[in-house]
A = this chain, B = another copy of it.
Amino acid sequence: MNRPIGLFDSGFGGLTVMKEVVRHLPNENLIYLGDTANLPYGNKSPQTIIELAQQNATFLLSKQIKLLIIACHTACSRALETLQKSLPIPIIGVIQPGVELLLRTTRTQRVAILGTTSTIESGVFQSLIQKTHPHVQIYPIACPLFVPLIEEGHHNTQAATLIAHSYLEPLKKAKVDTVLLACTHYPLMRAVLQQVLGPDVQLVEPAELCAIQAREFLQSSQLLNTQNEKPHYEFYASDDPEKFRRLGKHFLGDEIQFTAKII
């Protein structure tokens, strides 16, 4: 079925997920919405985030999507349940694959979760993990400056390293062996985070597993696009499409051509 898959994020971070979806579902038509007019989501209240997520979903539904991927941890942590109850199509988020990866990777059962203030305050990761793995020690850390540093291209600087040190200080004593990057922007700071946390700590991110889960779901539901046409990618931004086009390339990588319209 050639109806597209829809993805949304507050801005550019979700493109790290889209990149994996393109890799694992190379035949699918994709529509990406970056809600750049309302970025960042990470410091907003739960109610505001739910309203924005509903707006985004409504827009993508109007494009006849067959599956929605919420490529934003903040939106998932606050709005996934509400959207799952109200939308007539299936939804895949980034939280469940992140939790799976974290539990699969840790050997010491001591893990950390890095996210926006809202994601961390939601407690979603903590309660999901504790439900099935109550013995796992979880260290949740809000890193509110990472998104602006990345959006402004300052994520590979000494200042970013200092800020990362100040946020991750509590982890030095905690001796975690696995750290989940629970914000789709954070993979762009991977080098700095690895340097601050040291080489023995594994950094995991949900983008690839999220894409694999989407593929498995479409396979099992017989919803894969079996037509052999070149897939079509559309990008929408709620603010300044030119900035989106410019910055989007950093996230998606050069191999994906921006042939699509951005309105």
Contact = CB atoms under 8 A, between A and B. Distances in A.
Interface in A149-169: 149, 151-152, 154, 157-160, 162-163, 166
A10 to B, nearest CB: 12
A234 interface: no
Nearest to A44: B239
A45 B240 contact: yes
Contacts of A151: 43
Contact of A239 (B45, B159, B160): B45
A52 to B, nearest CB: 9
Copy tally for this chain in the complex stands at 2
Contact of A44 (B37, B148, B166): B37
A239 B44 CA distance: 7
Interface in A30-79: 37-39, 43-45, 48
Interface string A239-263: 1100000000000000000000000
Nearest to A46: B240
A236 to B, nearest CB: 14
Contact of A157 (B48, B166, B239): B166
A159 B148 contact: no
A163 B154 CA distance: 9
Interface of A: 37-39, 43-45, 48, 144-145, 148-149, 151-152, 154, 157-160, 162-163, 166, 239-240
Given A145-B154, A154-B163, 12 more contacts: A37-B48, A38-B38, A44-B240, A45-B240, A144-B148, A144-B152, A157-B162, A157-B163, A159-B162, A159-B163, A159-B166, A162-B162
